[in-house]
Amino acid sequence: MSFSCGCCRILGPVLFEYDTPRIVSIKSRKVGLINRLVQLGILAYVIGWVFVWQKGYQQFDSVISSVATKVKGVAVTNTTDHGVKIWDVADYIIPPQEETSFFVMTNLIMTLNQQQGRCPEMPEDCPHCISDSNCTAGEQSPRSNGIQTGKCVPVNSSTAVHTCEVLAWCPLENDVDLSQRNIFNGSYLKQCVFNRTTDPDCPIFRLGDIVREAGEDFQEIAVEGGVMGIQIKWDCDLDQSVSKCVPQYTFRRLDNKDVQNTVAPGYNFRFAKYYKGPGEVESRTLIKAYGIRFDVMVFGKAGKFDIIPTMINIGSGLALLGVATVLCDVIVLHILKKKTFYREKKYKYVEDWYDLVGNSPACETP
Amino acid sequence: MSFSCGCCRILGPVLFEYDTPRIVSIKSRKVGLINRLVQLGILAYVIGWVFVWQKGYQQFDSVISSVATKVKGVAVTNTTDHGVKIWDVADYIIPPQEETSFFVMTNLIMTLNQQQGRCPEMPEDCPHCISDSNCTAGEQSPRSNGIQTGKCVPVNSSTAVHTCEVLAWCPLENDVDLSQRNIFNGSYLKQCVFNRTTDPDCPIFRLGDIVREAGEDFQEIAVEGGVMGIQIKWDCDLDQSVSKCVPQYTFRRLDNKDVQNTVAPGYNFRFAKYYKGPGEVESRTLIKAYGIRFDVMVFGKAGKFDIIPTMINIGSGLALLGVATVLCDVIVLHILKKKTFYREKKYKYVEDWYDLVGNSPACETP
Amino acid sequence: MSFSCGCCRILGPVLFEYDTPRIVSIKSRKVGLINRLVQLGILAYVIGWVFVWQKGYQQFDSVISSVATKVKGVAVTNTTDHGVKIWDVADYIIPPQEETSFFVMTNLIMTLNQQQGRCPEMPEDCPHCISDSNCTAGEQSPRSNGIQTGKCVPVNSSTAVHTCEVLAWCPLENDVDLSQRNIFNGSYLKQCVFNRTTDPDCPIFRLGDIVREAGEDFQEIAVEGGVMGIQIKWDCDLDQSVSKCVPQYTFRRLDNKDVQNTVAPGYNFRFAKYYKGPGEVESRTLIKAYGIRFDVMVFGKAGKFDIIPTMINIGSGLALLGVATVLCDVIVLHILKKKTFYREKKYKYVEDWYDLVGNSPACETP
């Protein structure tokens, strides 16, 4: 005990001393049981819910995906305007390939042999006119199909109705004759076909089945068009075998079919096929394509064991265990009959009223 | 007290005893106030910031979205090359439909009646040649429009300049004649139109407004092309009414308009319309389309009450409360004048120097 | 000490008292060292791993991105069917522009001058027939190219094979003559070109390099088609300079090239070019395009200092420090020889067996 060193005086107590709190161990069935029950509840929450059920030991990452789609099938139409017509994939998939989506044309309005020129506006779209003074050259209204030339002309030879003449692709599209039919009846065949109950993992779908699964009517959606979501949920537990990591398919309609509350009900767009006739005159066939856009949406998350979420959950679980002590202290020190006795055992009172400048005792102590 | 059982000897102390730390209660205004202030700060942080402001009781999920767009409007151009031309949606939207994006052609270079054949390279793109020995059959340079045939031919009859002959779609595109004009002036009309101050929730936008909101000049971006982002932010608090969950629109230019620091300034691409003339000869009109690609980007997060983030935040908040005790212990035991007195009250020293093998006291204790 | 107030009686002890646990300080080298080592380990984990390495003080957000791509280059083919043909960007990129993806046609089957009409089914695709009774009018099988008319007709004049007649775009595509060649050899030139070792940041890629980096054979993937991923990883530390935030490029094949385990190997789709001949008869050239779809996938996360993850990590770190005390208590109170001595110092036993109704001691205490 006679030999000493400077650094030991500092490091000695730090390294070779162990501080542990002094404990009052109260032998009370009531408080003991309450304490253990609260601790048990917290442990059950941390182990059962956070770790086992919610996999709190895993770090989650989201899915990055790429989807390739292919549509097969032929449709036939028989209309008075265009006769019997065959529609195959090259006709009804527009554009021919997209990344995560494909559009199937199910209804259309064709306007054949349009050429750039001057023609009267559609009487359904625009206000009628009486003289040239009703039409302003260069004006363009949002519902119009072209730029006004300033002239007021008869719509056709058999009517007295006049509309403003426009510079446009003529003849204009006649939306009124829209025949409410669709070119598909929604049935395709392939060896394995998706079925919610018998083949839930088969990635080949009948268009009709997709629409039916979403609770929609194919005939209805095919006429006005719409947007269908093919949702692929891909939740994977990478701590387990990869073979258990299979996608789940669900379908829902994404567009608002409530005609009242939407800007443009259904789904349609216009495109044209361009031709060049004799004498280099360009003409085009304008097609207003109604159809179903299928959006493939892949989501999900992959979880893998990671030390950080594990430690965060263990750490905050340990801190929550302290709640049991706080609760039982309230019972022991404020509710039990022998609370004064316990308080004496737990607390040692040390007074230090005189650490303030001056000598002004604000409160009396019992 | 005479009856006993084996399992009780073990379980009894575990179940029916309650352990609580023994406390020194120091009556000191200074330390007491510091302790409460630190605790108050930590509580204010945990309750005010983490829970109320940052909604630490919620689990967040990201947004999965699908977007349908529709463009309307007609444009008219009057150029010396092509005369008066009308452009409608079928002409200037390429491809006619996309999933989360749409391209509006605002400027173009048309090369009419291209046919596959042999023609001299553009003198602007390629080095001139003097004899056939300057040209290598089969070679293709990155700026060239075709494959060299190995011949050196005059560019046209009125000039002495010779370039290498290439196998290509002839005549070649003449990029130099690019007329710096655009086919749009960026104004469309509809009943409700988006306006940052009066109609911030209307989902109908004027193209010109989108560009102006992003702080760009429409005339400029329309000539060279560009990529505009339509950002839809959709933050939802699912613990509240869904009707409060409305999207917010912002616009920004996504491409780098700094010509110096970008590989290809602006946004353009080439496509062709194919024709078949008499005698089954295929010709095409090549179109270099300049325009604005509008990318709709939906982001945001939805929050909902969840027990795990709540408990993690409560747990780590409780642990942080321990910081107050650590801080005040430092003050009481090392800074206050009566620190030795307090240390004696808090600590009970127990010596155990002799638990080591042998008897070698390394440090002296005071 | 004679003056008092009501509120002080309550607030006084709360505000002006400081409670700190009473500690037994055990001077034991063994336990002291174990305690400090466990604490050091936990501190090293929290500071070293959680904060320095995993940047636990940052809040992470995912990337929202927009990609613009441009393809350049000319290819030449020389086939017996179509002679020498030139392919430029307008020919082989279909559709001409997409948002985050582009498709390069590398192989194709052309079927010229299709017109709507009646023709016999391909004998390779469909079962042969002997009489009209084998064919059902209106039926359509999934491998068929049209709708059956109900007739059984000879395939061509030089063979005795009969197949069912179909209403379709005639002549039908003859997939069997597929010549296994590709129109590209995968080399393009530009000033800076991506190279894993010399130019890892250059955003200009040779198609052949992308495929080679992914460990695939360009000639093979070009014939049957495929989907390549261009993965752009963009991890940013926003607490540091933005100039350090550069994207990293990696490439991989996304489609399943295992012919056995995939529904449709390779990547191909059909599209058509429509022509109008004399007398307004519409014909089309059907193109089955094989090619490589390049999907640009941007991912990554941006981290920035945020108080909440910092505090969660500090809080659960502090709670974990309590583990050291628990561990050392086990050693001191249950393993060391002088455990009974230490237990007496740490614990003060208080009995409360008589708080139960009645007087039934369940367990005997030692």
Mean of per-residue pLDDT scores for chain B: 80
Instruction: Please determine, for residue B248, whether its predicted confidence score (pLDDT) is greater than 70.
Output: yes
Over residues B61-79, the mean pLDDT reads 80
**How far off is chain B from A153, nearest CA to CA, in Å?**
20
Over residues A80-103, the mean pLDDT reads 83
User: What's the confidence (pLDDT) of residue A263?
Assistant: 64
Q: Using the beta-carbon criterion (under 8 Å), do C323 and A319 form an inter-chain contact?
A: no
Contact predicate C232/C297, CB 8 Å: yes
Of B78-87, B247-256, B293-302, C171-180, the one with minimum mean pLDDT is C171-180
Q: Using the beta-carbon criterion (under 8 Å), do B25 and A348 form an inter-chain contact?
A: yes
- Tell me if chain C has a CB within 8 Å of the CB of A73: yes
Residues in chain B with CB shorter than 8 Å from the CB of C27 are 349-353, 365
Select from C168, C275, C323 the Cβ nearest to the Cβ of A275: C275
Residues in chain B with CB shorter than 8 Å from the CB of C204 are 263
H or E element in which residue B269 lies: strand B268-276
User: What's the confidence (pLDDT) of residue B5?
Assistant: 54
Q: Which amino acid is at C140?
A: Q
Which of C254 and B145 is assigned the larger pLDDT? C254
Q: What is the distance between the alpha carbons of residues C150 and C165, in angstroms, rounded to a whole number?
A: 7
Residues in chain A with CB shorter than 8 Å from the CB of C274 are 273, 275, 285
Over residues A148-176, the mean pLDDT reads 84
Over residues C260-275, the mean pLDDT reads 79
**Confidence bin at B176 (pLDDT 50/70/90):** low
Over residues A97-104, the mean pLDDT reads 86
User: What's the confidence (pLDDT) of residue B189?
Assistant: 41
Q: Each residue of B152-166: pLDDT tens digit?
A: 998 888 878 888 888
**Confidence bin at A10 (pLDDT 50/70/90):** low
Q: Using the beta-carbon criterion (under 8 Å), do B95 and C93 form an inter-chain contact?
A: no
Mean of per-residue pLDDT scores for chain C: 80
Which of B68 and B190 is assigned the larger pLDDT? B68
Q: How many CB pairs under 8 A join A and C?
A: 223
**Confidence bin at B251 (pLDDT 50/70/90):** very high
Q: Using the beta-carbon criterion (under 8 Å), do C18 and B1 form an inter-chain contact?
A: no
Of B135-144, C1-10, C131-140, C228-237, the one with minimum mean pLDDT is C1-10
User: What's the confidence (pLDDT) of residue C366?
Assistant: 37
**Confidence bin at C156 (pLDDT 50/70/90):** confident
Residues in chain C with CB shorter than 8 Å from the CB of B103 are 97
**How far off is chain B from C273, nearest CA to CA, in Å?**
7
In C33-62, the residues whose Cβ lies within 8 Å of chain B are 62
Q: Using the beta-carbon criterion (under 8 Å), do A146 and B24 form an inter-chain contact?
A: no
User: What's the confidence (pLDDT) of residue B186?
Assistant: 47
**How far off is chain A from B256, nearest CA to CA, in Å?**
25
**How far off is chain B from C51, nearest CA to CA, in Å?**
16
Residues in chain C with CB shorter than 8 Å from the CB of B24 are 19-22
Instruction: Please determine, for residue C280, whether its predicted confidence score (pLDDT) is greater than 80.
Output: no
Residues in chain B with CB shorter than 8 Å from the CB of C189 are 141-142
Of A173-187, B40-54, C46-60, the one with minimum mean pLDDT is A173-187
Over residues C301-327, the mean pLDDT reads 85
Q: Using the beta-carbon criterion (under 8 Å), do B308 and A25 form an inter-chain contact?
A: no
- Kindly identify which residue of chain A lies nearest to residue C298, measuring between CA atoms: A64
Over residues A228-252, the mean pLDDT reads 85
In A202-231, the residues whose Cβ lies within 8 Å of chain B are 227, 229
Select from C22, C45, C103 the Cβ nearest to the Cβ of A22: C22
Q: Using the beta-carbon criterion (under 8 Å), do A188 and C365 form an inter-chain contact?
A: no
Over residues C97-113, the mean pLDDT reads 84
Percent of chain B with pLDDT over 70: 85
Percent of chain C with pLDDT over 90: 1
**Confidence bin at A251 (pLDDT 50/70/90):** very high
Select from C22, C103, C144 the Cβ nearest to the Cβ of A97: C103
Select from C22, C31, C72 the Cβ nearest to the Cβ of B23: C22
CA dihedral C112, C114, C118, C122 (to 10 degrees): 40
Over residues A169-194, the mean pLDDT reads 64
User: What's the confidence (pLDDT) of residue C70?
Assistant: 80
Of A25-34, B216-225, B226-235, C261-270, the one with minimum mean pLDDT is C261-270
Residues in contact with A354: Cβ distance below 8 Å, sequence separation at least 6, in sequence order = none
In B78-97, the residues whose Cβ lies within 8 Å of chain A are 84-86, 88-91, 93, 95-97
Select from B32, B99, B168 the Cβ nearest to the Cβ of C86: B168
Select from A141, A325, A349 the Cβ nearest to the Cβ of B20: A325
**Confidence bin at A359 (pLDDT 50/70/90):** very low
ipTM value? 0.74
Q: What is the distance between the alpha carbons of residues A336 and C356, in angstroms, rounded to a whole number?
A: 11
Q: Which contacts of B327-331 are long-range, i.e. CB under 8 A and separated by 24 or more positions?
A: B327/B34, B327/B35, B327/B38, B328/B31, B328/B34, B328/B35, B328/B38, B328/C18, B328/C20, B329/C20, B331/B30, B331/B31, B331/B34
3-state secondary structure chain A: CCCCCHHHHHHHHHHHEEEEECEEEEECHHHHHHHHHHHHHHHHHHHHHHHHHCCCCEEEEECCCCCCCCCCCCEEEEECCCEEEEECHHHHECCCCCCCEEEEEEEEEEEEEEEEEEEECCCCCCCCCCCHHHCCCCCCCCCCCCEEEEEEEECCCCCCCEEEEEEEEECCCCHHHCCCCCCCCCCCCCCCCCECCCECCCCCCCHHHHHHHCCCCHHHHHHHCEEEEEEEECCEECCCCHHHCCCEEEEEECCCCCHHHCCCCCCEEEEEEEEECHHHCEEEEEEEEEEEEEEEEEECEEEEECHHHHHHHHHHHHHHHHHHHHHHHHHHHHHCCCHHHHHHHHEEEEECHHHCCCCCCCCCCC
Percent of chain A with pLDDT over 90: 1
User: What's the confidence (pLDDT) of residue A40?
Assistant: 92
**How far off is chain C from A74, nearest CA to CA, in Å?**
6
- Kindly identify which residue of chain A lies nearest to residue C267, measuring between CA atoms: A68
Q: Using the beta-carbon criterion (under 8 Å), do C24 and A26 form an inter-chain contact?
A: no
Please choose, from the candidates C100, C92, C99, the residue with its C-alpha nearest in 3D space to the C-alpha of residue C72: C92
Q: Using the beta-carbon criterion (under 8 Å), do C22 and B365 form an inter-chain contact?
A: no
Over residues C169-194, the mean pLDDT reads 64
Residues in chain B with CB shorter than 8 Å from the CB of C74 are 140, 144-147, 168
In B253-282, the residues whose Cβ lies within 8 Å of chain A are 273, 275, 277
User: What's the confidence (pLDDT) of residue C106?
Assistant: 81
Q: Given its phi and psi angles, is residue C83 left (phi above 0), alpha (psi -120 to 50 degrees) or beta?
A: left
**Confidence bin at C179 (pLDDT 50/70/90):** low
**How far off is chain B from A131, nearest CA to CA, in Å?**
24
Q: Using the beta-carbon criterion (under 8 Å), do B299 and C337 form an inter-chain contact?
A: no
Question: pTM higher than 0.90 for the full model?
Answer: no
Over residues C171-192, the mean pLDDT reads 61
Which of A132 and B65 is assigned the larger pLDDT? A132
Select from A25, A62, A348 the Cβ nearest to the Cβ of B24: A348
Instruction: Please determine, for residue C4, whether its predicted confidence score (pLDDT) is greater than 80.
Output: no
Select from C70, C76, C97 the Cβ nearest to the Cβ of B167: C76
Q: Using the beta-carbon criterion (under 8 Å), do C350 and A26 form an inter-chain contact?
A: yes
Q: Each residue of B311-329: pLDDT tens digit?
A: 888 888 888 888 888 888 8
Tell me the helices (H) and strands (E) count for chain B, helix number first: 7, 15
Q: Using the beta-carbon criterion (under 8 Å), do B365 and A32 form an inter-chain contact?
A: no
Percent of chain B with pLDDT over 90: 1
Q: Using the beta-carbon criterion (under 8 Å), do C356 and A29 form an inter-chain contact?
A: yes
In A323-342, the residues whose Cβ lies within 8 Å of chain C are 336-338, 341-342
Residues in chain C with CB shorter than 8 Å from the CB of A316 are 312, 315-316, 319
